[in-house]
Amino acid sequence: MLIEKHGSIRLRDISLPSGTTPEQQELAHGMVRVNHLYRSALKVAVAQLEILDDEFATMYEHSPIHHIEYRIKTLDSIAEKLTRQGYEVTIDNIFTHIQDVAGIRVICNYLDDIYYMRRLLTRTESFRITREADYIKNPKDTGYRSLHLILDVPIVISEGTLHLPVEVQLRTIAMDMWASLEHELRYKSDRNFSENDAVRLRLCSDAIGEIDREMQNIYLGEKPEYEV
């Protein structure tokens, strides 16, 4: 199953107010170009994942993919991230400093499925990992768990072949549930998020890690240590 989070933007959809400077017009048009190029790279990567998903569904009893989500960062989010990192909002800085304009989240069933999907994604000569962060083996202090890959994805456009980064996050269903609710509680909820809440969420993450390992063992038919 494929879920797209955000739609595309088109040049004709942008209405610039009167008094807009030539620099602002150039930035607005450049943002549309950025959206198009990264959406193209996203399509290439998603197409490969869809091919794998279809193969698992038709040829094998087990599919490592539960579902796939993908999105293009909004222009406001791109500008906010550049500003937060201390960079001027320019087209060059987007290409140089933002690695997650195009993002894919692959939700897997089991822990082993995550690393199996990593091997499959890098088996093709088209994709190359340029950055990797394993927050499953080394969770963040918050308890966040996921495998993050930055893939170098080639796209063919009218000017030639261009390589762009696409971020791929691989996580289990349980990890995704925790991450979604943690984000809701920490950033979206009207309630005050306390240090005690953070500690409790970390404990939940540890428990989910144990559940993921146990579900993996059940699937593999491994006997638990406590079995007599």
The residues that are catalytic are 167
Q: Do 168 and 117 form a contact (C-beta atoms < 8 A)?
A: no
Three-class secondary structure assignment of 98-141: CCCCEEEEEEECCHHHHHHHHHHHHHCCCCEEEEEEECCCCCCC
* 40/34 Cα distance (integer angstroms): 10
37-64 in b/e form (b: 16+ CB < 10 A) is: bbbbbbbbbbebbeebbeeeeeeeeebb
Give Cβ neighbours of residue 115 (< 8 Å, ≥ 6 apart). Answer: 147
Burial class (CB in 10 A: 0-12, 13-18, 19+), 223: exposed
Q: What is the dihedral of CA 78, 93, 171, 64, to 10 degrees?
A: 110
